Amino acid sequence: MNPDEVRSLLSSVEDPDLDDDIVSLGLVNAIDVDAETIRLSLALGAPYAPHESQIADQVRDALADTDREIELTAAMPPGLHTDEEVLPNIQNIIAVASGKGGVGKSTVSVNLAAGLAKRGARVGLFDTDIYGPNVPRMVDSEDAPEATDDKTLIPPEKYGLKLMSMDFLVGPDDPVIWRGPMVHKMLTQLVEDVEWGQLDYLVVDLPPGTGDTQLTVLQTLPLTGAVIVTTPQEVAIDDAVKGLRMFGEHETPVLGIVENMSSFRCPDCGGSHDIFGSGGGEDFADEENLPFLGAIPLDPAIRAGGDGGEPIVRSDGETATAFQAMTERVANNIGIVRRQQASTHAKTTPEQ
Ligand SMILES: Nc1ncnc2c1ncn2[C@@H]1O[C@H](COP(=O)(O)OP(=O)(O)OP(=O)(O)O)[C@@H](O)[C@H]1O
């Protein structure tokens, strides 16, 4: 058995999203074969994404008859990123944004982060909302970050998430009246001086709207993609369009649209009521040709969970399932972005 034979077997493995097999796409970085083992490096970039696990399973199936141990590693091809990259130990940075305040952006950020951690990923959650940080409350974390001797910050952990929030630095009740340059300085410091360690995903909760902080984040962080949260009403959707344009201008891939507060399942009558209308988020996603990431019901347990500290995705039930499904779609879409990048890189870089 030689690497070419392995390559030929792998060409039966179709990528579930990119419409070709993994060999033609250039997603096989390296093959090493000896008497007992086949070691493969695949260009997979979204740890714990269902579609990437599926690719790994198909690879094992394709090589099952070789009678060798299969060792898989996932890595983006060297050369895809530069050495001086910001936050090199963080594989994927996801911004969660909304055009309008109060639509549930922080709720989605917290449950997305907790949902990814529940799947097994190493996750950080970064609340950049200077004017109304609420992530610490939502995960019930009162621990402040620890400062080390060389003045870096160790983020506190809760539910397996590493947390960072402006709240930790300014105190929850301090009024914050900062101007743009100050916001920029603070954010840069928070990015550079925090010891995140190795992370699969960093979820960044942006403040609502399209102002200074959002721009700074877009300019400072190498975002993998953005999730846009809206409620079904037209006003919220009009504002979401502005958010969308902002990411477009910075060439940040939009991973999709989440419709929050979609319908209300009445605990008394058992009926479903569309308080803010319904389907607006999905229609919007269709019109903009973007993935729809799911509808999250209006559920009093979300508020109770949010205010009491435990993200609802960690429990069971319809709403938790909706958040889990959303998390899986986000992870799958990150996988598409990363594999697409790797494939383009492989096809445009001559073999060494
Ligand atoms: N689907 C939902 N069902 C019930 N309550 C919800 C839902 N989504 C969010 N909430 C509640 O609505 C309030 C606002 O949500 P959240 O803080 O997540 O919004 P936001 O868009 O981040 O707000 P801000 O503009 O302040 O950043 C919170 O009390 C939250 O618990």
Q: Tokens 């695949």 appear where?
A: 42
87 burial via Cβ count (<10 Å: 0-12, 13-18, 19+): middle
Count of residues in the chain: 352
129 in contact with ligand 1, CB cutoff 6 A: yes
Residues 6+ apart with CB under 8 A from 36: 68, 69
Is 99 flagged in the annotation as binding? yes
Q: In what order do the strands lie in the sheet with 37-42?
A: 28-33, 37-42, 69-74
Taken in order 23, 27, 33, 37, the sign of the CA dihedral is negative
Tokens of 244: 């969308």
Distance of CA 307 from the midpoint of ligand 1 (Å): 10
Mutation probe of ligand 1 site: the residue of 111, 233, 265, 303 with most atoms within 8 A of C-beta? 303
Q: What is the pLDDT of residues 296-307, one digit of tens each?
A: 998 888 877 666
Return the SS3 of 264: strand
Is 8 flagged in the annotation as binding? no
Write down the pTM of the prediction: 0.91
Q: What is the residue type of 307?
A: D
Taken in order 144, 145, 146, 147, the sign of the CA dihedral is negative
Distance CA 109, CA 96 (A): 6
Distance CA 54, CA 56 (A): 5
CA distances from 154 to 127, 144, 150, 197 (A): 15, 9, 11, 9
DSSP 206: P
Q: Catalogue all structural domains in the chain, each as residue range(s) with its CATH number.
A: 3-75+342-348 (3.30.300.130), 90-315 (3.40.50.300)
Q: What is the pLDDT of residues 239-283, one digit of tens each?
A: 777 777 888 878 899 999 999 988 777 777 777 777 666 667 788
Measured by CA distance, the residue closest to atom 23 of ligand 1 is 102
User: How many beta carbons lie within 10 A of that of residue 319, not counting itself?
Assistant: 21
308 in contact with ligand 1, CB cutoff 6 A: no
Distance of CA 303 from the midpoint of ligand 1 (Å): 7
Instruction: Ligand 1, residue 108: give the atom nearest the CA.
Output: 18
Is 124 flagged in the annotation as binding? no
Instruction: Ligand 1, residue 296: give the atom nearest the CA.
Output: 1
ipTM score assigned to the predicted complex: 0.97
Distance of CA 340 from the midpoint of ligand 1 (Å): 33
Residue pair 266/297 in contact by the 8 Å Cβ criterion: no
What string of pLDDT tens digits covers the 352 residues of the chain?
Answer: 899 999 999 999 999 999 999 999 999 999 999 999 999 999 999 999 999 999 999 999 999 999 999 999 999 887 777 656 778 899 999 999 988 888 899 999 999 999 999 999 999 999 887 666 667 667 676 677 787 878 788 898 988 999 988 777 665 565 555 556 666 777 777 778 889 999 999 999 988 887 777 888 888 888 999 999 998 876 667 777 777 788 887 889 999 999 998 877 777 777 777 766 666 778 888 888 899 999 999 888 887 766 667 899 999 989 999 999 999 999 999 999 999 999 999 988 866 5
Instruction: Ligand 1, residue 103: give the atom nearest the CA.
Output: 21
